[in-house]
Amino acid sequence: MNFTERLKDNVAAIKKRLNSDDIQYKEIKIGEKKGCIVFAADLTDKSAVGELIIRPAADFCGTPNGDNIAEYFFSPETEKEYSVIPATKKIAGGSCALLCDGVNFALLFGLKKFDKRAITEPPTSTVIKGPREGFVESLSVNTSLMRRKLISPALRFKYLSAGEFSDTKIALCYIDGIADERLVNSITEKIKKAKIDAVLDDSYVSKFLGEHKASLFKQIGNTEKPDVLAARILEGRVAVLVDGSPIALTVPYLLVEDFQSPGDYYSSSYSATFARILRLLAVIISVYLPALYVSAQLFHLQFIPLSFLLTIVNSIKGIPLSPSFEMFFTLLVFEILNEASVRMPKYVGMVVSIVGGLVLGETAVNAGIISAPALMIIALSGICLYTVPELEQTFSVLRLIFLVIGGSFGAFGIIVASGVLLTYLVSFENYRTPLLAPFSPLIVKDLKDGWYKGFTVERRLSPISLKNVNKRRIKND
Amino acid sequence: MKFKGVKIAAVIFATVFLLFFSNDFGLIDIEKTAIITAVAIDLEQDGEYKLTAQIAVPEATDTNTENLRAQISGKGATVGAAIKNIGDTSGWFPQLCFCNLIIVGNGFSDYNLIKILDYFSKTLRIQDSALIVMAETEGAELLKLSTPLDNISSFALQKILLKNAGLNRDVAVCDVKSFCTGYYSDAGSSYMPLIKVVSQKSENEKPSAESVGGENSGGENASVAGGGSGSSGSGGESGGAKGDAIFNADTTALFLKGKKVGELDADLTLAFTALTGDFSTSTFEVKNVDLGGEKLNYLLTVFSCKASRSLSVSENGITLKVSLDAYVKISDTNERFSDLEYLKNLPLPSYVKQRAESDFTERITDLIRTEIETGCDFLDIKKELYRKHYSYYSTYKNNFIENLNYSVSVNFTGQK
Amino acid sequence: MIKQLKTRQICFFYIAILPVIKFFMMPSVISGISGEDIWISVLINCLLDFTAIFTVYICLKDQDGDFFTLTEKLFGKAFAKTVATIYIAFFLLKTVMPLNEIKDYVEMTLYITSPNIFTFMPVFALIIFVCVHRLRVIGRLADGVLIIALIGYAFMFALAIPNTDFEALLPVGAHGANNIIRGAYISQPWFNDCAYFLFFTGEYIKGKKDGLKIFASFTLSALTVIFFCILFYGTFTSIAFRQRFALTEISKYTTVINNTERFDYLPIFALLFTAVFSLALPFYFATDLIVRFFGVKRNLAAVIISLPPAILLLFFEEYFATIETFITQTASGFFLLFGTVFPTAAAIVMKIQLVKENKIEIQRG
């Protein structure tokens, strides 16, 4: 439906669609004709409305028409909208619409203004060394942060929107000449085709960007830090920034990138390599230790050193649960505590840790419900998993799967399950990029930023694992 | 993965989950498992085997970290049957994977040992790296002994065997695999340490096994002994006092075709290990060196050693050349050296060197004589003949001992 | 035509995945016949494999498509189908010994409290899962498994070497040519690795010195197996033939193990992990042939191929000794024929045919 030259009809048409108390309709006079401004009271900058629309309207001389009105009103963001529905969407999104009798379009002013959260260090990726700023929920702030990081004309933002009701603004961010154009197009297509009522967070977008809908593994990378995002798009990835989310998504995703902490790039190569290997070992311990412990107790006593076996037998005396059930129960309690500590209000968080750590743990051991080694193993496993917080959920599920397999089939079952997992992971591709690259398929040149973190000057090429266009990172002298 | 795949995976996972919670599979509960640390085998009058298993019983408390031990015996016509008998009568499931010591009782002196040891080499449920020793008494006696070395007597015995294997080299350590390898070789020869019990109270007062543990509940007979201040089982020791028995393993029993044919005393065992293993870090004594009428004693430490046995074979016979070159230092002596000599790291005086060399030459010569007398080819002459002089093997394989000539050369050098 | 593999992956495949399957019963079986000449029997088999791989590589290196595609192209669909059927049988037979020996190994050495057939059966889940993927995944698995296998080899060898009596391999040839050749003959089911190469030729991205890389990796693989057999015989000498499961046996006699208990299970697990992929290979290639020549869907083909060995394992366990005798003695000739002789001869014939066709095309202008 299009606007007509009758102001009354145009206002009625908008009112029909935006019949909400927070939408203000203010009649004004524009020269010799009547006009009306429509805006969302809590979302639009009222002083700017007064300065840029109401005052100039009062000063208007002559008869406004379709030709002169757009030129008269001066604002950095103005556009003509002939159609009612898009105009209402934009008003709901914070724009101010100016309607004038005898003019068959609405003049829309981008005067959105609302309170934003300050730029702070993201709680999920704190660093000892390195930039501490993190993304916020405002897309414009996030894009500005990126522009500040990469002052290059090659930095591109491509705006899209998704969500039938939310009409959330989404920005693709990439570097022209490095990112593969096909990848950008593919992501654009996916977002455009997405049928969803609302996009309330980046996770909604990541669901329809992933090519394996039911996969346990992450398919889309994410970060809350502009410096990390800048580094990733410099390697040829495409970032997806979603309005309302402080997390930027990156595509394609490699499993190894979650083992790489931002701090690795700001510390020495040696300590970063050590830290990465430590993270890998911690994850392996975390996933396998409970399963191996249970399977050793049930099927393979010979794996346990005799002195430790005697300790175990000592500690499990009188415990009513079978080894597998005991470990499952302990893991369950741990996961409940974990979940509770995340959800509980901060002021009772301390209570949870005291109750969880001391009361439940120690008393359960003393009461003979669970054994001390089982508790120790779950605690160690739980702590280990947080060395790679991004994959905590994935590996928690894997830990449970391995525990069940270990308790049912023993160590050989664990070996077979690991084989299935490896086969799955090596066959897993997202946007033509293998998840396990650069290890499988082996890309030797990319190993400089795998478990081993090479010296920055050594990394002259962007990762070959990613399908980027320009591989040269640093020019030769 | 498609959603159909997820459904299949969910069904599989649910099934496995069910298995996980109901898992029994006839599993043996860890608490019902008898963790056997050592077994002793004795020959009964009726020709059956009596197998005594030493079981580690976890009984540690906050104040006492030591575990108890228990002995359970079973009888059977075969070793396997005797082990099964232990399970049948005790309710425990005998678990042999931690069994690192097999003691053979003295009743097997005239018996082909492979009949019992073959079980341990065949089954995969026991380590064939388990050590084997022969007891001077009944095998079960050794297990029942209480020693100050460890709460569990088999651990004490293993300590002696392994420590000696690692440092002193005065025990000819043998495991199931080595024994069987020797037995099934063409020479059919093998050896193992002969364990003697020494009481620390006095040489005459030998410790009695009966004084340590009672015999009651359990299989054929059972006893439980506790250590430290912890509670002990019925028939166990009270008060936590440890016994006074220690073990001596420096004698070696020799076997031919599985039967005991002789022994090597402590001196010969040392010479044997010097020739066959790494003699470095070992110590040996040179006693009664006459120096101007004064009898002096020395303890020499070997720092490096090169021992070789070479065989030269011709139509006229086999000649074994044994040579031992070692760099030694005086570790201790009752001779008074001058300060200057101490500063020079104690040189090896010629009288000590000569005496040590002649002692060792004599020991090695005796060793070869023992091989000739017993027919037990513990020096692997036949193996050497087969491997390096195969063309003469058929000529001498049945009479290599009769045609054996030998020469021994020992050279000790000290600090220069 | 999109190439599924890289030369490097073929090399890793030979180094990492193939040797491990020979570490279970094979050394004991050969040592029962060849004694200290075990390494010569293994060497003979490796040389036969090498010759076959070399011939196939030289003859077909410039062609697109693997051996079976070329067979179809040159000799027609019917012939290719017959060859495919024979190779399906070949691979099915090739699964029998490894499946049984790994099952026995797992049940007898790993599960001391409850040896249960169901503890081994999950391996079929992995086999089917591997089978449903494309050849590219086999290449990537080789990449993924390499480091694990190398760690396994390194630990295993390091633990075994101090207790190995290398002189036990003397005198060379004392067991006589007859026994050495018999040792090589009965171990055919574990060799004939050229059969796998038939699927690789023409399916990898060509690069510089491909042949050299492939032959070097195969030689390394062969040396690993020979060295393992040497360590095995040097450890057990006169009782080697009684040691059914070499993999668990050779590492446990070191003093370190005596002091620290059996941490050698770590390399054993690493090698067992590699071995399960090795186990899946004959299934994979049989599935591939069914899919290509009989038009069966890959998922279904994987299940069809896995069923007979699974049934054999579940219901005919008591016949294992008979099956072992059949496979190692009666069927050895079949393995030799279709694992080595036929690929070599066929590759030469194909080359001649291709040269002829090329000449005709040149003459035609």
Cβ of A404 within 8 Å of Cβ of B16? The answer is yes
Q: What is the mean pLDDT of residues A264-277?
A: 90
B to C CB pairs, distance under 8 Å = 66
Cα distance between the two ends of chain B: 77
- Name, of A101-115, B338-352, C106-120, the range with top average pLDDT: A101-115
CB of A38 closer than 8 Å to CB of A93: no
pTM given for the model? 0.87
Cβ of C114 within 8 Å of Cβ of B185? The answer is no
Please state, rounded to an integer, the average pLDDT across all residues of chain C.
90
Mutate to test the interface with B, among C239, C249, C254 (most CBs of B within 10 A): C239
CB of A416 closer than 8 Å to CB of A409: yes
Mutate to test the interface with B, among C232, C238, C253, C257 (most CBs of B within 10 A): C238
Confidence band (pLDDT; 50, 70, 90) for C238? Answer: confident
Mutate to test the interface with A, among C10, C107, C130, C140 (most CBs of A within 10 A): C140
- Biggest CA-to-CA distance, chain A: 100
Give me the pLDDT at residue A96, please: 93
Q: What is the mean pLDDT of residues C200-229?
A: 92
CA closest to A299 among chain B residues: B27
Cβ of A424 within 8 Å of Cβ of C129? The answer is yes
Q: Is residue B18 part of a domain?
A: no
Mention every residue, 6+ apart, whose C-beta is less than 8 A from residue C224: C15, C19, C153
Q: Is residue B14 part of a domain?
A: no
Q: Which residues of B touch A424 (CB under 8 A)?
A: 1
Which residue of C106, C137, C273 is in closest CB contact with A426? C137
Using the predicted structure, report yes or no on whether residue B214 has a pLDDT greater than 50.
Answer: no
Q: What is the mean pLDDT of residues A280-290?
A: 95
Q: Is residue B15 part of a domain?
A: no
Mention every residue, 6+ apart, whose C-beta is less than 8 A from residue C98: C21, C24, C190, C275, C278, C279, C282
Peptide bond into A438 cis (omega under 30): yes
- Name, of B54-63, B144-153, C298-307, the range with top average pLDDT: C298-307
Cβ of B25 within 8 Å of Cβ of C116? The answer is yes
Q: Which residues of B touch C119 (CB under 8 A)?
A: 25
Q: Is residue B11 part of a domain?
A: no
A to B CB pairs, distance under 8 Å = 69
Give me the pLDDT at residue A39, please: 92
Cβ of C170 within 8 Å of Cβ of B127? The answer is no
- Smallest Cα distance from B207 to chain C, Å: 29
CA closest to A416 among chain C residues: C123
Query: Which of C188, C123, C194, C213 minimizes the C-alpha distance to C334?
Result: C188
**Domain chopping of chain A, boundaries:** 7-109, 139-253, 268-427
- Helices (H) then strands (E): counts for chain A: 16, 12
Query: For chain B, which residues lie within 8 Å of any Cβ of chain A, measuring from their own Cβ?
Result: 1-3, 5-6, 13, 16-17, 19-21, 23, 27, 30-31, 33, 35, 37, 56, 58-60, 67, 95, 97-98
Give me the pLDDT at residue B340, please: 60
State the CATH number of the domain containing residue B347: 3.30.300.210
Using the predicted structure, report yes or no on whether residue B212 has a pLDDT greater than 70.
Answer: no
Lowest mean pLDDT among A178-187, B267-276, B291-300, C12-21: B291-300
Q: Are residues B90 and B204 in the same domain?
A: yes
Cβ of C120 within 8 Å of Cβ of A412? The answer is yes
Token look-up 């022209």 returns A176
Condensed to tens digits (0 to 9), the pLDDT of residues A118-141 reads: 888 888 788 888 888 999 999 989
Using the predicted structure, report yes or no on whether residue B241 has a pLDDT greater than 50.
Answer: no
Using the predicted structure, report yes or no on whether residue B337 has a pLDDT greater than 80.
Answer: no
Confidence band (pLDDT; 50, 70, 90) for B201? Answer: low
Residue ending a domain, among B207, B228, B261, is B261
Query: Which of B81, B91, B89 minimizes the C-alpha distance to B49?
Result: B81
Residue ending a domain, among B229, B261, B293, is B261
Cβ of C141 within 8 Å of Cβ of A303? The answer is no
β-partners of residue B306 are B325
Lowest mean pLDDT among A424-433, B229-238, C102-111, C297-306: B229-238
Percent of chain A with pLDDT over 90: 41
Q: Is residue B160 part of a domain?
A: yes
- Smallest Cα distance from B115 to chain A, Å: 26
- Smallest Cα distance from A362 to chain C, Å: 30
Q: Are residues B239 and B273 in the same domain?
A: no
Q: How far apart are CA B288 and CA A169, in angstroms?
A: 101
State the CATH number of the domain containing residue C278: 1.20.1740.10
Give me the pLDDT at residue A75, please: 80
Helix (H, G, I), strand (E, B) or coil at B184: helix
- Name, of A72-81, B282-291, C340-349, the range with top average pLDDT: C340-349
Asked if A317 has any chain B CB less than 8 Å from its own CB, the reply is: yes
Residue ending a domain, among B218, B243, B261, is B261
Q: How far apart are CA A275 and CA A281, in angstroms?
A: 10
Mutate to test the interface with B, among A310, A311, A317, A423 (most CBs of B within 10 A): A310
Give me the pLDDT at residue B416, please: 66
Phi-psi region of A108 (alpha: psi -120 to 50; beta: other; left: phi over 0): beta
Condensed to tens digits (0 to 9), the pLDDT of residues C65-79 reads: 889 999 999 999 999
Peptide bond into A441 cis (omega under 30): yes
Asked if A290 has any chain B CB less than 8 Å from its own CB, the reply is: no
Query: Which of B312, B310, B308 minimizes the C-alpha distance to B324?
Result: B308
Give me the pLDDT at residue C153, please: 92
Cβ of C122 within 8 Å of Cβ of A439? The answer is no
Peptide bond into C171 cis (omega under 30): yes
CB of B289 closer than 8 Å to CB of B355: yes
Give me the pLDDT at residue A263, please: 84
Query: Which of A458, A121, A112 minimizes the C-alpha distance to A262?
Result: A121
Q: Is residue B275 part of a domain?
A: yes
Give the domain range for residue C42: 5-364
Under DSSP, the state recorded for B280 is: T
Backbone φ, ψ for residue A13 (5° rounding): -65, -40
- Smallest Cα distance from B244 to chain C, Å: 26
Mutate to test the interface with C, among B129, B189, B390, B394 (most CBs of C within 10 A): B129
Condensed to tens digits (0 to 9), the pLDDT of residues C313-334 reads: 888 888 888 888 898 888 999 9
* Interface chains of chain A (3 or more CB pairs under 8 Å): B, C
Mention every residue, 6+ apart, whose C-beta is less than 8 A from residue B199: B205, B206, B207, B244, B245, B246
Q: What is the mean pLDDT of residues A67-79?
A: 83
Give me the pLDDT at residue B222, please: 45
Q: Are residues B254 and B311 in the same domain?
A: no
- Smallest Cα distance from C143 to chain A, Å: 5
Condensed to tens digits (0 to 9), the pLDDT of residues A413-423 reads: 999 999 999 99
- Smallest Cα distance from B388 to chain C, Å: 6
- Smallest Cα distance from A97 to chain C, Å: 56
β-partners of residue A174 are A156
Higher pLDDT, A285 or C159: A285
Asked if C310 has any chain A CB less than 8 Å from its own CB, the reply is: no
Q: How far apart are CA B18 and CA B15, in angstroms?
A: 5
Mention every residue, 6+ apart, whose C-beta is less than 8 A from residue B215: B221, B222, B223, B235
Percent of chain B with pLDDT over 90: 19
Q: Are residues B67 and B137 in the same domain?
A: yes
Using the predicted structure, report yes or no on whether residue C123 has a pLDDT greater than 90.
Answer: yes
Give me the pLDDT at residue B233, please: 30
- Smallest Cα distance from A280 to chain B, Å: 25
Cβ of B1 within 8 Å of Cβ of A214? The answer is yes
Phi-psi region of B169 (alpha: psi -120 to 50; beta: other; left: phi over 0): left
Give, in order, the Cα–Cα distances in Å from C110 to each of B126, B253, C17, C255, C293: 12, 35, 21, 22, 40
Please state, rounded to an integer, the average pLDDT across all residues of chain A.
88
Q: Are residues B366 and B247 in the same domain?
A: no
Give the domain range for residue B389: 266-413
CA closest to A435 among chain C residues: C140
Give me the pLDDT at residue B203, please: 47
Query: Which of B307, B319, B294 minimizes the C-alpha distance to B400?
Result: B319
Token code pair at residue A99 = 């309607």
Using the predicted structure, report yes or no on whether residue B24 has a pLDDT greater than 60.
Answer: no
Q: What stretch of H or E contains A156?
A: strand A155-162
Q: Are residues B134 and B180 in the same domain?
A: yes
Structural domains in chain B (count): 2
Q: Is residue B24 part of a domain?
A: no
Q: How far apart are CA A240 and CA B88, in angstroms?
A: 69
Asked if A277 has any chain B CB less than 8 Å from its own CB, the reply is: no
Q: Are residues B217 and B331 in the same domain?
A: no
Q: Are residues B360 and B257 in the same domain?
A: no
Under DSSP, the state recorded for B299 is: E
Query: Which of B377, B279, B257 minimizes the C-alpha distance to B320?
Result: B377
Using the predicted structure, report yes or no on whether residue B204 has a pLDDT greater than 50.
Answer: no
Give me the pLDDT at residue C4, please: 81
Q: Are residues B70 and B172 in the same domain?
A: yes
Condensed to tens digits (0 to 9), the pLDDT of residues A353-387 reads: 777 777 777 788 888 888 888 989 999 999 999 89
Which residue of C9, C110, C125 is in closest CB contact with A420? C125
Q: Are residues B131 and B231 in the same domain?
A: yes
Q: Is residue B369 part of a domain?
A: yes
Structural domains in chain C (count): 1
Cβ of A298 within 8 Å of Cβ of B6? The answer is no
Give me the pLDDT at residue A93, please: 85
